[in-house]
Amino acid sequence: MSIEEAKRLAAFKAVDTFIQDNTIIGVGSGSTIVYAVERLAELKRTKNLNVVCVPTSFQARQLILSNDLKLGDLEQYPKLNCTIDGADEVDKNLVLIKGGGGCLLQEKIIAGYSEKLIIVADYNKDSQHLGDNYKKGIPIEVLPLAYKPIQMRIQEKYRGSATLRMSKMKAGPVITDNGNLILDWVFPTSETFNWDEVNKTIKMMPGVIETGLFINMAHAVFFGTKDGSVKEI
């Protein structure tokens, strides 16, 4: 089973399990979510499924529109039934790293106002501990003017390296949909972290907008596996 097939299986299963008619859905970002939207569009065509989709990024908005699904926002729909999103890594306690695509702020807001957050991912994201499989670290969205002191404070307090995310051509830093920068904090995997404490401490640093640590948020996770089955936690 290829990774793309595994993503697709997980996404289809999650939609079929959690999405009913008249659901207000948060639509996550990344490559796995594309398959979830594909399934929503298919159900709309074949079964007349009627849902409203609230995007977590520019990418998600485009995806919703290009699949001819109904677009909403938090002003119209301040309470969502269910958000479906991807993740970069999921540990055994369902602590997530998100933000590989730089959309963590809106993803956390939309998930935070949803009754349920459902994660869809391939087998590479399934870890015992954060950092076992995902080596790019925890993304932290920061206000541009404060990136340097935040970078230094994180490194002094927790060690590892907090690197400013650069665009592919290294022409400049990646700018998020909200006009901010991203630090990717690669933490030392030799240490055991209390992720709740880390998350709260980093969030309290002036200039930090949000972290890519999602704790006690995921209601269920669907992993597409190598053998073609879906593992649900």
Which residues of the shown chain bind ligand 5RP in the complex (CB under 6 A)?
Answer: 28-32, 85-88, 98-104, 107
Q: 204: which residues sit within 8 A by CB, 6+ positions away? A: none
By C-alpha distance, which of 23, 189, 3 is closest to 97? 189
Choosing from 4, 5, 107, 210, which is the catalytic residue? 107
Q: Which is nearer to ligand 5RP, 7 or 153 (CB)?
A: 7
Amino acid identity for residue 232 in this structure: E
214's enclosing H/E stretch is strand 213-214
Contact yes or no for 51/22 (Cβ under 8 A): yes
- 3-state secondary structure string, 80-148? EEEEEECCCEECCCCCEECCCCCCHHHHHHHHHCEEEEEEEEEHHHECCCCCCCCCCCEEEEECHHHHH
Q: Which is nearer to ligand 5RP, 21 or 132 (CB)?
A: 132
Tell me, what DSSP letter sits at residue 206?
A: T
Q: Which is nearer to ligand 5RP, 107 or 184 (CB)?
A: 107
Q: Closest distance between ligand 5RP and the C-beta of residue 191, in Å?
A: 24
Q: Closest distance between ligand 5RP and the C-beta of residue 22, in Å?
A: 25
Rounded to whole angstroms, how far apart are CA atoms 112 and 79? 10
Q: Closest distance between ligand 5RP and the C-beta of residue 139, in Å?
A: 7
Please confirm, yes or no, whether 75 is among the known catalytic residues. Answer: no
Q: Closest distance between ligand 5RP and the C-beta of residue 57, in Å?
A: 7
The torsion angles phi and psi of 217, rounded to 5 degrees, stand at -115, -35
Q: Which is nearer to ligand 5RP, 108 or 153 (CB)?
A: 108
Q: Closest distance between ligand 5RP and the C-beta of residue 233, in Å?
A: 17
Contact yes or no for 97/138 (Cβ under 8 A): yes
Q: Which is nearer to ligand 5RP, 21 or 232 (CB)?
A: 232
Give catalytic residue positions: 107
